A and B are shown apart, each in its own frame.
Chain A
Amino acid sequence: MTDLSHIRNFSIVAHIDHGKSTLADRLIQMTDTVAERDMKEQMLDAMDIERERGITIKANTVRIDYTAVDGEQYVLNLIDTPGHVDFAYEVSRSMRAVEGSLLVVDSTQGVEAQTLANVYQAIDANHEIVPVLNKIDLPATDCDRVAEQIEDVIGIDASDAIRVSAKTGVGIRETLEAIIHRLPAPTGDRDAPLKAMLVDSWYDAYLGVVVLVRIMDGVLKKGDRVRMMQNGSVHHVDRIGVFRPAMTVVDQLGPGEIGFLTASIKQVRDTKVGDTITHEKRGTDKPLPGFKPSVPVVFCGLFPVDNAEFEDLRDAIEKLALNDASFSYEMETSAALGFGFRCGFLGLLHLEVIRDRIEREYDIDLITTAPSVIYHIYGRDGEVTELHNPADMPDPSTIDHIEEPRIKATILVPDDFLGDVLKLCQDRRGIQMDLTYAGSRAMVVYDLPLNEVVFDFYDRLKSVTKGYASFDYQLLGYRTDNLVKMQVLVNDEPVDALSTMVHRDRAEQRGRAMCEKLKDLIPRHMFKIPIQAAIGGKVIARETLAALRKDVTAKCYGGDVTRKKKLLEKQKAGKKKMRQFGKVEIPQQAFISALKMDS
């Protein structure tokens, strides 16, 4: 147990890809926390999907022993956090467990939307903030400009920002010194009743549920009996330890320390993030304030391509949900797609990550239906229902009005692209809330319907700004609008999985775009196929997919049998990725691509 004055707890926050995880690597390396031969790049990003995409999804904690320049011994607990907006919740709760933040800003890029979002969270959490200008090894680095920007846009002093290269290791020593000299030590009373914050929890195949805790007051020891204050459940602590970054057992954890406990807990569900853990006897009666729960905002159906794999899918989803409380699911049946699950996600990246993991780790091919948000349906009878799935939309004659979720979107963009961004937001039914400049960058704040954002807003934003814009959002609340359900009929059969909620004024345009898209996505069949969009019974757009007219191999002799046969087998496998709607086969990809819009 370390004296409070020699502990520093901090999170590393930044916009996506500004180098948080790489900086964490260097801090770990320079303090000899990990043997040189065990070092690898972004070593805290342990999940396959994190390594493959080169991004952090889950916050990670490491305890570092640091001998300062003045010879004093310190214990540093760092939490590396994800940069992507979908995982902002990971950042906010990590911040509750520490007293300071290293705000990393890529010195070749400058302040971006998540830089801002994170700073505001850090200020909210009363953090001391140390700005770190990273990537100074790159030729495009411009620390003076970025420091100025930090002062202008964020309003914090950047005169003593540390200039580092997390790649080469320049400035790492200075960073460590700044941590001990500029960040506050934690406070706490070791003689007070135990008060530990449940920061995170996850399932480990060997240990069961592992609980990440920050001790506020008191001392936690192995063998203690502890109580979760929210549900009153009592557990016997069978192991406590810290991350270096490998799990390392210790005897006790005192105030200001961050570590883990295991207590033969079977399900992650039994551990509520933000809960307060205290001793069963002589516990505290003053729980910590807790966290705002993370809520799924984007919903879609996941169906196995092969109906026989439904049980496997259930199994996969249950396992993933064990470790990811922000992901919700319930069973869903679709006329066309059979049995599947309606799942809720924090955003589109979260959706993609979960989908990829199911496909890869569990080897199940999936059909993903149109992403949707939660609508509030006010019935004429005065009842309010939540609509998660356009397919479940009640008869319009029973509806009084519909409300949809709106967001406050903050976009940072170089001047040159401002016009395109404004047009995009306007096209997506946005209402401008603010527009300010900092140097040659504009900060645009828009009130936007979430459903206009979930499909492909981010892709579009990236493409109209050549990747130079950054984007962050927060939910604002619900507002009434003229919303209708648009159905898609392929060869006169309704395809429920392609139903979407749209604004009435945009329905024709959307319908036309959707029909045109589908015309390209559905392969030609041996007959012509009408593709229609309709509201209620009324067709608002129509395209015709011409019949396939020619598909024949000119030469096929004895030597070609095997090759042709292989081709047929490939087609057969390809057909498994298709779904039959009446006489028409629709490829799985169509369900995803059809919903991306080009304007």
Chain B
Amino acid sequence: MIEDWQNAGFAIYIHWPFCEAKCPYCDFNSHVSQFIDQSRWRRAYLSEIDRLGREFPGRTLSTVFFGGGTPSLMDPDTVGHILERIRATWPISNNFEVTLEANPSSSEVGRFRALRDAGVNRLSLGVQALHDDDLRRLGRLHDVEAALRAISISQQTFPRSSFDLIYGRQGQTLSAWKSELDRALDMAAGHLSLYELTIEPGTMFAKRKAAGKLNGLPDEDLAIALFEETGARTAKAGIENYEVSNYAADGNACEHNLIYWRYGDFAGIGPGAHGRLTVNGLKRATTEPKAPIPWLKSVENGAGEALIEDLGPEDQADEYLMMSLRLTEGMDLDRYHAIAGKSVSQSEIARLEELGLLQSGENGLRITTKGRPLTDAIVSSLIAAG
């Protein structure tokens, strides 16, 4: 019998917690630090890989993702050592995907080449906007020109390449976003991440919003129009919505992120990294210490894990539902039943289908285009009904 995670695969996430500057909208675990002892960090990552290799030997590894923070600031040599150690620890799948997040401001050609040579085969660039004023308002260190250059170098250097944009920005009109998006689609190499700006609690933007100093954010009508327009334009360009905020041409979806959404197993290495790893049939949720130095110390003392919790069938099933319904392909009801030992509430499915928000068939369940902007509400009502 196969374990549930094998439906999706096994992935490793590596978190690099440093950036050149903190963006005012960002609530990722990222810090600005003058002095970073790259070799100490390298030793720590390698030691965690060794530990995980001992605890979870023999699995075929599908993907690695270097996220941040700004991992393009990592010494390419460190990236190389990490990937080398990973290859030595686990068997690697045929189409092994290694993604790294990069900022346009740290994207000299030389560095990209070195990263590619270290084994990175997919780059995800944080472009965020194609307007200089907006980039400044987002606190970005690069301008549009630098972003365009980075996109082009990335596409020449890596077999696969994507970039991120944030929309629903201050004062952004529907027509402005349409032309910006069209420009992005013209440049895209089969993949885009298009995020609606979220005002995350605790960020500088949240403070400014609370003080009434963040003007021109879209109202509900505009936000929906922006989202729908994004879906329509990307589809027309053949780069289709496959997850709430992710768009890809056929075969170009990010395999690593698919493992999250299909609820596979993943190890999280680095400050604040989370993991989900199946142990004796139970899904183990792991969390590493959030702050950089405590993480290093904890690893140097033997293990990076700060918190371990075994998830019961119900929690697992809820997580599976919550993650998989974000995907256009939706979820597998049989798989849900196998995890939970019970079915998703039929009456709730029927109710949501009647509203045109959900569509079921052949044991699959997916959120319709109409339901997409209500993803969270749908998920929570399915979970509450279960």
Contact = CB atoms under 8 A, between A and B. Distances in A.
B355 interface: yes
A308 interface: no
Nearest to B377: A551
A558 B276 CA distance: 8
Nearest to B28: A559
B37 interface: no
A538 interface: no
Contacts, number: 91
B260 interface: yes
Interface stretch (A103-111, A148-156, A564-572): A564-572
A575 B377 CA distance: 12
B377 A548 contact: yes
A206 interface: no
Nearest to A572: B384
A569 to B, nearest CB: 9
B23 interface: no
Interface in B191-213: 195-198
Nearest to B245: A554
Given A564-B322, A565-B322, A568-B383, 20 more contacts: A548-B374, A549-B224, A550-B220, A550-B227, A553-B198, A553-B376, A554-B195, A554-B197, A556-B323, A556-B326, A557-B257, A559-B272, A561-B260, A561-B276, A561-B285, A562-B274, A565-B315, A568-B318, A568-B379, A583-B351
B287 interface: yes
A551 B379 CA distance: 10
Contacts of B220: 549-550
A583 B196 CA distance: 31
A550 B198 CA distance: 13
A571 B67 CA distance: 30
A292 interface: no
B355 A526 contact: yes
Given A561-B323, A575-B384, A555 B357 contact: no
27 contacts: A549-B220, A550-B373, A551-B373, A552-B244, A552-B376, A553-B198, A553-B375, A554-B198, A554-B244, A554-B245, A556-B323, A556-B326, A557-B257, A558-B13, A558-B268, A558-B276, A559-B13, A559-B274, A561-B276, A561-B285, A561-B319, A562-B274, A562-B285, A562-B287, A565-B319, A572-B383, A572-B384
Given A556-B323, A568-B318, A526 B352 contact: yes
Interface in A540-599: 548-559, 561-562, 564-565, 568, 571-572, 575, 583
A558 to B, nearest CB: 4
A527 interface: yes
Interface in B296-334: 315, 318-319, 322-323, 326
B245 A551 contact: no
B209 to A, nearest CB: 16
B380 interface: yes
Interface residues of B, number: 47
Nearest to A546: B220
B116 interface: no
A468 B15 CA distance: 60
A565 B318 contact: yes
Interface residues of A, number: 23
Given A550-B220, A550-B374, A558 B274 contact: yes
Contact of A555 (B198, B352, B377): B198
Contacts of A551: 373-377
A565 B311 CA distance: 12
Nearest to B286: A562
Closest 10 CB pairs of A and B: A552-B375, A551-B377, A558-B260, A551-B376, A550-B373, A554-B195, A559-B274, A554-B196, A571-B380, A575-B384
Contacts of A552: 244, 372-376
Contacts of B268: 558-559
B339 interface: no
Contacts of A549: 220, 224, 373-374
Interface string B1-31: 0000000000101010000000000000000
Contacts of B380: 568, 571-572
B376 to A, nearest CB: 5
A557 B322 CA distance: 11
B344 interface: no
Given A526-B377, A527-B355, A549-B373, A558 B244 contact: no
Interface string B222-257: 011001000000000000000011000000000001
Interface string B343-386: 00000000110010100000000000000111111111101100
Most buried by A among B220, B266, B376: B376
